[in-house]
Each structure stands twice: as C-alpha cells, then as structure tokens.
Amino acid sequence: MNRRGSGPLCGALSCLLPACLLPAAAHAQDGLRIGFLPKPDCAAEMMMRAETAGPNFDRHLRLIQTFFAALSPHAGFMARVDGTVRPLLLMPMSVPIGPAGPTLTRGGPNECIRESEIFRPFRLSLEPGLVLQKYPPGFVRLSFRSIWHPVDSFFGLGAGFGAIVDWQSDRATGFSSELLLQIGACCEPPFWQLSVRRDQYPSDRDREAFVFVFGPTVW
C-alpha cells in the first residue's frame, strides 16, 4: 500500500521540483551573462559620436576663458614701509613644472568616454609690472611657487619665493616671499589668484613693501 500511495506523491513532487528550480536557473543564467558582458567597441562608438555630434560649445567657451585669463593683467597695490601706497599693474606668466599632482577624472556613460585634468603643484613665474604714478617705474620678479589644491576643493593654498629687480628712482635688487590663495574648481583652468607678498631690498630698506595682487590666471 505504501508503494501504491507513493507513486502519485512522487509524480507531483517531480513536477513541482523543476518549476521551483526554473527561476533560480534563469537567475543563474542572467548572472552568467552579466558577468561576461563584452567590452564596448570604443573605436566604433567614438567614430559614431564624431559623425553625429554637433559643435562642443562648452569646450569652446572654456578655451575662450582660458585665453582671456592668460592675457589679462593683474591689479593690486604696494604699501611701502615709508607709508607710500601705490597702485600696481602686473602681467604674470607661469609655467607648470615637476610631477603631476591631483587628477580629476570625468566618467561618461561607459568606459569609452573618460577625460582627465591634471594639476601640477609646482611652477615658475615671471611677473613684469608697473607702479602707477606720474612717471611709472617698472619691476620684474622671478619666483618659484607651490600650490596645494585638492580635487574636491574650490580653493587652493600656496607659497612662493623669488628675486625682484625694481627701477623706482634707481635700480635695486631684492627678494620676496609670498602666500597665495587660488580660487576655482580643480583641476582645469582658468582660476582666480590672490597673492600677498613681502618685498625686501637689503641695499634700500625704505623701498621694502607689502604687495597685494589679484587677477585671473591659467596656472
């Protein structure tokens, strides 16, 4: 009797068991397919985007902003130890040097579209300038700068040290140290930069001054 009764029960179980296992099998197959997705054909996708995409106005705007930042002068003022305050106009030029620092990577919809912007923390800077008065004398400063600007920060901090030649009344040679505040999202230019420095002249103590300069910059 047990054998006759177990026949229908076993038959029912044998029918239900595959039905219960089907979803699990389907999920396993989906997982197997997801795990072995083929890599995108980047060459074909980039070719298709080049054929169908219109002009990149954002990139053109960024190039225009960078161009004007490179050609724009910086303005400031000089406060000498003898109490004289004079406005300044500078044309700083910087060249990044040394190893790469923070790197900002922008990801696209897949692995094919990725852009990286590298920020180099060290640079050489040449700053010719004028002291704005009735007969404007000039000066030239050559400096080494280092700027720390994290990827996720809108501000960077830096310092610099350099030599300066000044032609106020007569020529004098000195040195200067500075602190820098850089404003702008890392790591792509342009930025805004505030420089606060101390100019010192061992041969002419009355010429020593504190200098404040602000303006747009590429580096």
Distances (CA, A) of 14 to 5, 21, 24: 15, 11, 17
Tens digits of residue pLDDT in 122-136: 999 999 999 999 889
**CB-CB contact of 78 with 88 (8 Å):** yes
**CB-CB contact of 94 with 70 (8 Å):** no
Residues facing 156 on adjacent strands: 182
**Architecture of the CATH domain 72-217:** Beta Barrel (2.40)
CA distance 73 to 38: 52
- Residue linked to tokens 């910059």: 217
pLDDT of residue 103: 75
pLDDT of residue 13: 45
Tens digits of residue pLDDT in 78-131: 999 989 999 999 999 999 998 888 777 665 555 565 667 788 899 999 999 999
Q: Across 4-8, 16-20, 52-56, 163-167, which has the greatest mean pLDDT?
A: 163-167
Rounded mean pLDDT, 27-33 = 46
**CB-CB contact of 101 with 129 (8 Å):** no
Tens digits of residue pLDDT in 57-68: 677 787 888 889
